[in-house]
Amino acid sequence: MTLNVALFGAGRIGKVHAASIKSDPRAQLVAVTDVMEQAAAELASEHGIAVRSADEILNDRSIDVILIASSTNTHADLIERGIAAGKAVFCEKPIDLDLERARKVVASVSAAGKPVMMGFNRRFDPNFSTLKAAYDAGDIGKGELLAVTSYDPAPPPVGYIKVSGGLFRDMMIHDFDICCWLFGMPETLSATGSCLVDPAIGEAGDIDTAVVVLTYADGRIATIRNSRRAVYGYDQRLELLGADGLLSVENQLETTVRKATTSGVTSAKPQLFFLERYMRAYEIEWGAFLDALIADAPMPATVQDGVNALALAEAANISLREGRPVTITAELTGVAK
Residues within the interface to its own copies (CB under 8 A): 25, 46, 126-127, 130-131, 134, 139-140, 142, 144-145, 147, 149, 151, 190, 192, 194-197, 209-211, 213, 215, 219-221, 223, 225, 227, 229-233, 235, 241, 243-270, 323-325
Q: What does the alpha-carbon distance between residue 212 and residue 140 come to, in Å, rounded to a whole number?
A: 24
Q: How far is the CB of 108 from its own copies (least distance, A)?
A: 37
SS3 category, 182: helix
Q: How far is the CB of 74 from its own copies (least distance, A)?
A: 30
Q: How far are the Cα atoms of 67, 86, 200, 289 from residue 62, in angstroms, in the given order?
A: 15, 11, 48, 19
Q: Which of 223, 184, 214, 183 is CA-nearest to residue 337?
A: 184
Cβ distance to its own copies smaller for residue 231 or 336: 231
Cβ distance to its own copies smaller for residue 68 or 312: 312
Cβ distance to its own copies smaller for residue 157 or 323: 323
Q: How far is the CB of 18 from its own copies (least distance, A)?
A: 14
Q: What does the alpha-carbon distance between residue 3 and residue 216 come to, in Å, rounded to a whole number?
A: 41
Q: What does the alpha-carbon distance between residue 198 and residue 222 come to, in Å, rounded to a whole number?
A: 27
Q: How far is the CB of 60 from its own copies (least distance, A)?
A: 23
DSSP H or E stretch at residue 3: strand 3-8
Burial-class residue 103 by CB neighbours within 10 Å (0-12, 13-18, 19+). Answer: buried
Q: How far is the CB of 153 from its own copies (least distance, A)?
A: 10
| φ, ψ for residue 97, nearest 5 deg | -75, -20
CB-based contact 248:131 (threshold 8 Å): yes
Which 8-state DSSP code applies to residue 93? Answer: S
Q: How far is the CB of 317 from its own copies (least distance, A)?
A: 16
Beta-bridge partners for 188: 215, 327
Cβ distance to its own copies smaller for residue 62 or 262: 262
